[in-house]
Amino acid sequence: MRALAAALLLIAAAPASADQFVVDVSERTVAITAGFTGAELVVFGTAAEEQGSTAEEHGVIVVIRGPEQPTMVRRKERNFGVWANHGGVAFPEVPAFVWVAASEAFVEKPLMEVLDRYRIGQDFLAPVPADAEAEALDTFQAALVRRKQANGLYSAAFGHVEFLGEHLFRTRVAFPANVPVGSYRIEVFEVRGANVVNATASALHIRKAGLEAAVFRFAHDFPILHGLVAILVALMAGWLAGAVARRT
């Protein structure tokens, strides 16, 4: 955090020019260990234009997403009193995590107009499958978002980008304990009115560390052996529990 504070002071002391749009993050790598309960990062930077310098709405939007993975969304229907999967849509690339924040300059409607115009955020998180029916696609996309929000992986509401002066801004993003490992993309947009005037993107990596990393690599490199070891451990645990029960 000392490095973050020093960086914020340096950015605040530097005068912003017309072409200055600098963004950074407090950490570039998040390590997931055995006791991982989540993490909080700070995205900060300087806007090129002064806050409130024009009559138009001016502010910053921050989007963090990743890693992309194929996802199947199925529909459940009740037939003869039994709920079963009936039909579905396979999305080829879906971000496992999506988080969006915006500054106070944008109220709900203008922000959604900007997101819609520039295809930013959760409404455009999944490419359209070639074989999907247009009428059903919106329903499955909405179901996908609801499922991710229920798991805490998609932001249900926009986060807050705070301006600390005319140029300096920051926002805090919280990653849940179940955040997937992989490469993430941090996209920051400076918006005036309904136009993006500056944009930048950078990478963020979430990785397992320590014993968690060793088990993760072992499971992926030797899946069959990992399964056998898991069965053996389960059998030994059952035998040990039975032995303790007999003694007591």
Question: Which fold is adopted by the domain 2-209?
Answer: Immunoglobulin-like (2.60.40)
Mean pLDDT calculated for residue range 126-148: 73
Write down the pLDDT at residue 240.
79
Tell me, what's the pLDDT at 14? 42
Residues 172-218: tens digit of each pLDDT: 999 999 998 899 999 999 888 778 888 899 999 998 776 555 666 65
3-state secondary structure of 20: coil
Supply angle C-alpha 15, 19, 25, rounded to 5.
75
State whether residue 81 is helix, strand or coil: coil
- Pair 160, 104: CB distance under 8 Å: yes
Cα(122)–Cα(64) distance, rounded to whole angstroms? 11
Mean pLDDT of all residues in 158-164: 88
Q: Is the pLDDT of residue 91 over 50?
A: yes
Angstrom CA distances, 11 to 6, 22, 40, 63, 164, stand at: 9, 9, 21, 21, 11
pLDDT at 229: 72
